[in-house]
Amino acid sequence: MLFVLSILVIIGLIMVKRFSKTGIPDGVRAIAIAFLVLVALSACLTVVPAGSVGVVDLFGRVSNRTLKAGINFINPLARVVKFSVKTQVKEEDLAVPSKEGLNIRLHISCLYHLNPEKAAEIYKSVGKDYAEVLLEPQLRSVCRGVTASYEAKALYTSEREMLSVLIKKEIDKLLEARGVVVEAVPMREIVLPPGLQQAIEEKLRADQESQRMQFVLLKEKQEADRKRIEAQGIAAFQDIVTKGISEQLLRWKGIEATEKLAGSQNTKVIIVGAGKDGLPLIMDTK
């Protein structure tokens, strides 16, 4: 780098000396010198966009130091290859086997990005098309291997999230060391053979109806238990009240009622003899 800058300075000094021997006006000479300086500086600078890194390639010799986003000084004879480290998406539409040997259509997405520290290694060993060379074939192979361990029903219902997690785990083992970081592998759609899909949906509806009936039966049983407990409480109350009523209590209540009626100013009461139980017969003539 310093060697190249020294050469450019020497060339500039030679041109300044040559211009000074000619009859070129000072203004024109100054503009020409400024232009040469700008050209020399621009050859030594490169701009790496945001979300990218630069790999320096000087006649086939690749520097292990990657350039960060922004303005960077470089050897003007070197070539800078820029790699994006932003999150990217790769979508695949695959025909994968199930545990029973059925063919299933799997629509899957893979979110990934390049590890900035591995950009130079990726450039040297794979190149800029690392997604097509590394990610795509590994993603297809892993998807087929993982789905072959699951039944079609599981893939269509409760095991979709587990399937996604397992695919990501297997891809990480293969690609993380190479510099490709897989963020997630979400399932967009799983398409089963038409007859199988209809059978699974019918079974799911039957299971839901069975669960609903179990809930209804449980609710009815709870209501029956409530009514039984309520009836037992009423019977116990009546038994206690019946046992507590005696002849002496009835006589006492009769006397109390007689006294209240007799003491009322607005009540005309006729007391006639006594009944069979010995209590007076009271007639209210109000």
Domain boundary at 56, 84, 112, which? 84
Percent of the chain with pLDDT over 70: 62
Distance CA 83, CA 66 (A): 10
Q: List, as one string, the DSSP characters of 219-255.
A: HHHHHHHHHHHHHHHHHHHHHHHHHH--HHHHHHHHH
Per-residue pLDDT, averaged over 27-35, amounts to 60
* Same domain flag for 99 and 189: yes
* Same domain flag for 96 and 191: yes
What's the pLDDT score for residue 169? 92
Amino acid occupying residue 14: I
Q: In this structure, what DSSP letter does residue 49 have?
A: P
Dump pLDDT digits (tens) for 36-80. Answer: 666 666 677 888 999 999 999 988 888 888 899 988 888 878 889
* Same domain flag for 78 and 174: no
195 against 281, higher pLDDT? 195
Structural domain contains residue 80:
yes
Distance CA 163, CA 13 (A): 68
pTM tops 0.85, yes or no? no
Reduced to 3 states (helix: H, G, I; strand: E, B; else coil), residue 59 is: coil
Structural domain contains residue 225:
no
- List of E strands, the chain: 45-48, 52-58, 61-62, 70-73, 79-84, 88-97, 103-114, 180-184, 187-191, 269-272, 281-284
Domain boundary at 84, 101, 125, which? 84
- Separation in Å, CA 133 to CA 35, 60, 126, 130, 203: 44, 21, 7, 5, 43
Per-residue pLDDT, averaged over 88-94, amounts to 91
Domain, as residue range, for 275: 247-284
156 has pLDDT over 70: no
* Same domain flag for 95 and 79: no
The torsion defined by the Cα of 182, 188, 192 and 193, in degrees rounded to 10, comes to -110
What's the pLDDT score for residue 32? 59
Range ranked top by mean pLDDT from 95-109, 150-164, 183-197? 95-109
Domain boundary at 36, 57, 84, which? 84
Distance CA 4, CA 11 (A): 11
* Arithmetic mean of pLDDT over the chain: 76
Structural domain contains residue 202:
no
* Same domain flag for 41 and 79: yes
What's the pLDDT score for residue 119? 93
Burial class from Cβ neighbours inside 10 Å (0-12, 13-18, 19+) for residue 118 reads: buried
Closest of 30, 37, 48 to residue 5, by C-alpha: 37
Structural domain contains residue 134:
yes
Whichever domain contains 108, its CATH number is 3.30.479.30
* Same domain flag for 166 and 136: yes
* Same domain flag for 13 and 73: yes
Domains in the chain, number: 3
* Same domain flag for 13 and 96: no
Per-residue pLDDT, averaged over 225-237, amounts to 82
Tokens at 37, concatenated = 């300086």
114 against 10, higher pLDDT? 114
Dump pLDDT digits (tens) for 179-220. Answer: 999 999 988 887 776 666 565 566 666 667 777 788 888 888
